[in-house]
Amino acid sequence: MKKIIYSFVCLIILVVINITASKIFNVEFLEMSFATGLMASVLIVFFSSEGGPGTAMLDLPVKRFLESDSRRNPNFFKIYINIPIIVSVFYTIIAAILSIIVYWKYF
């Protein structure tokens, strides 16, 4: 039950961000939906991951004093798959499919 509530909350947040962005940039809802979904997916993956070049640069001053997996393995990168990532990726895929269907005559 908790996962269903998280899914709906994430979807509502994505739709509200999409409506707000479409009002700010004065474009249609569908035109902004793919960009909103893509940016949300990238941000959620960035904040849900562990390791990678960003973390390596931030941990550089402390890394020599600690023993960790990232020190032993410099290519360490792990993404934690959670409900918001799944919802935002599906939102992006559905937005892309709908955009292609609606704007097919312009391709």
DSSP secondary structure, 14-39, as one string:
HHHHHHHHHHHHT--HHHHHHHHHHH
pLDDT of residue 13: 95
Mean pLDDT of the chain: 84
pLDDT of residue 2: 87
Decide if pLDDT at 54 tops 70: no
Query: Could you read off the pLDDT of 62-99 as tens digits, one per residue?
Result: 666 666 555 555 566 677 889 999 999 999 999 999 99
Count Cβ atoms below 10 Å from residue 3 Cβ, excluding itself.
10
The mean per-residue pLDDT over the stretch 55-66 comes to: 65
Q: Running DSSP on this structure, what letter comes out for residue 67? A: -
By the 8 A CB rule, do 6 and 83 touch?
yes
pTM exceeds 0.95, yes or no: no
By the 8 A CB rule, do 99 and 34 touch?
yes
The mean per-residue pLDDT over the stretch 13-28 comes to: 95
